[in-house]
Each structure stands twice: as structure tokens, then as C-alpha cells.
Amino acid sequence: MKSSSLGGLVYSTETGRMCPACRQPLAQCACKAQAKAGPAGDGVVRVSRQTKGRGGKSVTVVKGLPLDAIALALLGKQLRTQCGSGGTVKDGVIEVQGDHVDAILAALVKLGHQPKKAGG
């Protein structure tokens, strides 16, 4: 096994820190641009209600939105305000406290998405 396959240049006195994946200077890294270009989500918006692991309390979960992190946070805030409840945005998933599946489905349709009700 070659030692070059185990790693590569991580710092250059000429350009500074190097990206280990694309071997470019961090300022010109192609990996970050590709990661930011493709937002999380498969394009199929799924809205479901979950109670598992939450002490019996229900939470409405929205998955699969093809939005970046900032737009997802803004949409999460808008949905929480519309439902009048709390919630969070974690790992590309919007969680709204309470059973608001129908209200969130209507709001997403109004915003131009094509949501599907998932899970019974």
C-alpha cells in the first residue's frame, strides 16, 4: 500500500490549508461548493405525525424539502407561527409540536410544494 493513498498534503506554505478530498486549497475547494449546491431532501415532501421516543407527546414531522438550511429554518419558523406552537429544525427535518398534519399540508400546498401525508 502506498503512503499517498493513506492521505495527502494537508498544509502548504504557499497556499495554506488543503482540502483532503479534492486536494485544493480550502479557499478554492470544490467539495464545499458541491455540498452547498445539492440541498438535502429527495424532493418528495412527507408530512407525518410521530410520538415515538417523545413521552407520548405528538410531533408533526416534515421531511424531504429540497431547501438549503437557511430557507428550511425560515419555513420552519413560518409553519410554527401558523400552527401557534413550538418546534425545531434538525438535520433537514422540520418538527412542529402537536398534531398539525392537515394545517401543515395546506400551508405547504399554498407555498407551491407537493406534500404527501405519510404514516397512516
Tell me the pLDDT tens digit for each residue of 67-91. 888 888 899 999 999 999 999 998 8
pLDDT interval class at 1 (50, 70, 90): very low
What global pTM score does this model have?
0.64
d(CA 86, CA 77): 9
Average pLDDT over residues 88-113: 90
Domain boundaries defined on the chain: 8-37, 45-117
To which CATH superfamily is domain 45-117 assigned?
SUI1-like domain (3.30.780.10)
Q: In the predicted model, what is the mean pLDDT of residues 18-22?
A: 74
**In the structure, how many helices (H) and strands (E) does the chain have?**
3, 7
Consecutive H or E run containing 54:
none
